């Protein structure tokens, strides 16, 4: 039997923490007058006690409950002014999740009682709703994070050897018939040996999971019979999404990560610290809004009733506030220590770097992470844009961060589509996008290169559709990117025409060769290795169904097996040849071999490209030669040949004459490595080849 009173406790750490004898509760609010701790029965249905937190120190309300243990179900109610015009929206009738709660009990059930104001009232959000929301709210749960990690070791894969596989935890395995049904789409399935073996065969070194922190199923989607599948609507920053745990136990995550580590694969989480699920001023009161709306969110200084929205989701977290920044940092460290994840991909990272004057690479958020002894050692990836003023910040994030490079995505797509005047741009993308990232001693791996990602067409759809087909989203096909730099090559959607099918397959392989032969960090979209389609939907954020899920029957098809094997070969060649994953930017100023600079560009005739040749609009061919040291102390030379034209081209291999070996040919995916006879190599239409060479004469030997 728990006591019906609280001891003063401590203001730190924030959240609910069990010390073996009881639980300390601490929650921040700069403007609340009182905060009540609400205790519930194990099912979370009945409120058993309501205890005011007895102390407040430095704007942190706190109390200690003796005899309380892990498994205790709780929430908060906050008392204070309800003055929306001043930014304050306190309403003690609304049960609030602990922002630091590390596990959730129950799910959100949409009802008008979840709103601090009365929906439909003439005064809108200036009205006040007195209904109790507890019955419709999930609750927080006290947990114990103890776990036996055994001999677990983080793989710590160097950036230049990293190959990322972006996927959705649920969508990855929900259609795996070889798994126990209740485990499909969960962390338990992520740790399944066949899944890990598949990733290893592809050469994947890191899995990047779409958001796994607790997700709010937005009301407007539920009313349409849809779901927030991607998960970019955070309900909690510390608790995992309950639906991703087959057993309901948090250790399921730890077991999965431990097994991934044992296989040499890192786990990177996509995290959403730019906004919350509480939307704009007319949104629900679920946690942060009810605890301290004016502190947690960026408010319009001219009208504090209004939230500043630089995310397109109704609100923007106020990371300029020290307690809000602390919450984000504490959340990151929680996932990095309690679960040992290996890195984070920051959604709309430009928002996180905003200060009062706009985006700042020296913002408090970036400074806090870069000096943190735990987080600064992890892989940190920025999505370098948001919808606010000056929101596109590709290349402007600070050292220590890599960035999703949409310029690579678009440049490669346009070159292989056959657009004019693309050779100069493609050259920059092939060499790590130094025009964007070569500053402040950043390395080529700062550019995360990708052909497709969760947001947009899959690789299969990129060569099958010219237009988006988002009708299932029920937004009249107005959502999603309008320009995808795609082509259907004769028919919109699937085709049985062997010529069209051959063109599409050839282009997919050519783009994959381009990806793996480019400096920077390659990223694959889950399912692209066996031809996954979303049927032209380029914004499948709300499609928790077969539109988005990986169809593993494709992996067993002849085409799927061939494409997966081809990707595995490309990844293996990247590992074997350091010139394909250079750790420095190359400028042609050094000669690893006499007469052979570290980088050189040629046309199909074997001549170095002149300024005039670079700018020929119809230039569809390109040869890139790179030379550099091997890990064994020697010197290697590699040659990448690209032909985006509709007809075969005879490439004259550039001088000096070398013993060339053809390593990979996108037009002949099953061909083994073979010596090249003669100084000319014919490249099929819309194809790419990768070659490596040894010096022909003793004089050229290092």
Active site (catalytic) residues? 347, 383
At residue 643, the 3 state secondary structure works out as strand
**Comparing C-alpha atoms, which of 518, 519, 530 is closest to residue 567?**
530
Query: Which single residue is written with the structure tokens 């050229």?
Result: 700
Long-range contacts from 248-251, C-beta under 8 angstroms, 24+ separation: 250/102, 250/103, 250/143, 250/145, 251/147
CA-based nearest residue to 599, from 584, 614, 611, 588: 588
Give the tokens for residue 110.
Answer: 């949409």
Give strand pairing partners of 74: 39, 140
Q: Please give the full DSSP string across 554-580, using - where no structure is assigned.
A: HHTSHHHHHHHHHHHHHHHHHHH-GGG
CB 635, CB 579: distance < 8 Å? no
**How many other CB atoms are found less than 10 A from the CB of residue 224?**
13
**3-state class (DSSP) for residue 403:** strand
Q: Angle CA(12)–CA(14)–CA(15) in degrees, nearest 5?
A: 130
Burial profile 60-90: b = 16 or more Cβ within 10 angstroms, e = fewer: bbbbbbeebeeebbbbbbbebebebeebbbb
Residue (of 342, 217, 218, 344) closest to 273 by Cα position: 344
CA distance 30 to 28: 7
Rounded CA separation 540/397 (Å): 28
Contact indicator for 540, 228 with CB cutoff of 8 Å: no
Task: Provide the β-strand partners of residue 51.
Answer: 37
Q: What is the DSSP letter of 597?
A: -
Residues 6+ apart with CB under 8 A from 484: 413, 456, 457, 462, 465, 468, 538
Q: Tokens 């694969």 identify what position? A: 265
Which residues, other chains included, contact 438 with Cβ-Cβ below 8 Å and sequence gap of 6+?
432, 585
Cis check for the bond before 142: say yes or no (omega within 30 of 0): no
Residue with tokens 């995505």: 409
- Containing H/E element for 623? strand 621-629
Contact (CB, 8 A) for 11 and 26: yes
For 174-242, where are the alpha helices, taking DSSP H only?
187-190, 193-202, 219-222
Our CA angle for 327, 330, 336, nearest 5°, is 145
CB 200 within 8 A of CB 263: yes
DSSP states along 97-157? --TT---EES-----GGGSSS-TT-TTGGGS------GGGS-EEE--------TT------
Residue in 557, 625, 621 with CA at minimum distance from that of residue 596: 625
SS3 state at 383: coil
């Amino acid at each position: 039997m728990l006591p019906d009173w609280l001891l003063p406790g401590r203001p730190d750490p924030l959240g609910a923490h069990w010390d073996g004898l009881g639980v300390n509760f601490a929650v921040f609010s700069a403007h609340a007058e009182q905060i009540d701790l609400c205790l519930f029965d194990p099912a979370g249905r009945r409120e058993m006690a309501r205890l005011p937190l007895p102390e407040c120190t430095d704007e942190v309300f706190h109390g200690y409950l003796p005899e309380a243990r892990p498994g205790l179900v709780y929430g908060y109610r906050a008392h204070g002014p309800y003055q929306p015009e001043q930014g304050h929206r306190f309403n003690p009738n609304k049960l609030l999740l602990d922002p630091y709660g590390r596990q959730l009990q129950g799910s959100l059930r949409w009802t008008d009682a979840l709103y601090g104001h009365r929906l439909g009232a003439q005064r809108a959000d200036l009205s006040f709703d007195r209904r109790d929301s507890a019955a419709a709210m999930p609750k927080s749960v006290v947990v114990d994070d103890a776990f036996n990690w055994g001999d677990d070791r983080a793989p710590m894969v160097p950036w230049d050897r990293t190959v990322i596989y972006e996927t959705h935890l649920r969508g990855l395995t929900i259609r795996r018939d070889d798994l126990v049904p209740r485990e499909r789409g969960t962390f338990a399935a992520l740790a399944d040996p066949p899944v890990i073996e598949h990733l290893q065969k592809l050469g994947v070194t890191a899995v990047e999971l779409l958001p796994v922190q607790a997700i709010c199923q937005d009301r407007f989607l539920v009313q349409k019979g849809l779901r927030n599948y991607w998960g970019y609507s955070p309900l909690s920053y510390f608790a995992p999404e309950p639906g991703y745990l087959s057993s309901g136990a948090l250790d399921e995550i730890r077991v999965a990560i431990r097994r991934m580590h044992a296989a040499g694969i890192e786990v990177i989480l996509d995290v959403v610290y730019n906004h919350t699920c509480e939307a704009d001023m007319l949104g629900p009161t679920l946690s942060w809004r009810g605890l301290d709306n004016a502190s947690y969110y960026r408010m319009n200084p001219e009208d504090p009733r209004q939230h500043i929205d630089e995310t397109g989701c109704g609100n923007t977290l106020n990371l300029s506030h020290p307690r809000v920044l602390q919450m984000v940092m504490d959340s990151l460290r929680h996932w990095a220590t309690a679960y040992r994840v290996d890195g984070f991909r920051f959604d709309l990272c430009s928002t996180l770097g905003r200060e009062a004057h706009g985006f700042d690479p020296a913002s408090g958020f970036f400074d806090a992470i870069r000096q943190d002894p735990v987080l600064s050692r992890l892989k940190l990836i920025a999505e370098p844009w948001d919808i606010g003023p000056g929101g596109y910040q590709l290349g402007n994030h600070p050292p220590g961060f890599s960035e999703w490079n949409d310029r690579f995505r678009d440049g490669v797509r346009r070159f292989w589509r056959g657009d004019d005047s693309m050779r100069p741009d493609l050259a920059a993308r092939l060499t790590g996008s130094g025009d964007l990232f070569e500053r402040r001693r950043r390395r080529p791996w700062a550019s995360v290169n990708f052909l497709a990602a969760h947001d947009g067409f899959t690789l299969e759809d990129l060569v099958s559709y010219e237009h988006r087909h988002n009708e299932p989203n029920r937004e009249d096909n107005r959502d999603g990117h309008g320009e995808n730099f795609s082509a259907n090559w004769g028919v919109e959607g699937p085709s049985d025409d062997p010529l069209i099918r051959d063109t599409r397959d050839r282009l997919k392989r050519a783009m994959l060769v381009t990806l793996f032969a480019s400096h920077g960090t390659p990223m694959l979209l889950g399912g692209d290795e066996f031809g996954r389609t979303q049927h032209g939907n380029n914004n499948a954020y709300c499609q928790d169904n077969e539109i988005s899920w990986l169809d593993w029957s494709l992996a067993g098809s002849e085409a799927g097996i061939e494409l997966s094997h081809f990707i595995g070969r490309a990844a293996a060649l990247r590992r074997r040849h350091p010139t394909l994953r250079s750790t420095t930017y190359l400028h042609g100023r050094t000669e690893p071999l006499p007469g052979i600079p570290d980088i050189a560009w040629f046309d199909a005739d074997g001549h170095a490209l002149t300024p005039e040749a670079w700018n020929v609009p119809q230039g569809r061919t390109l040869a890139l030669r790179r030379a550099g040291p091997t890990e064994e102390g020697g010197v290697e030379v590699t040659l990448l040949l690209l032909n985006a034209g509709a007809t075969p081209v005879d490439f004259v291999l550039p001088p000096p004459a070398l013993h060339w070996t053809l390593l990979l040919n996108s037009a002949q995916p099953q061909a083994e490595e073979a010596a090249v006879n003669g100084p000319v190599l014919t490249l099929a239409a819309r194809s790419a080849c990768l070659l490596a060479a040894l010096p022909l004469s003793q004089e050229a030997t290092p």
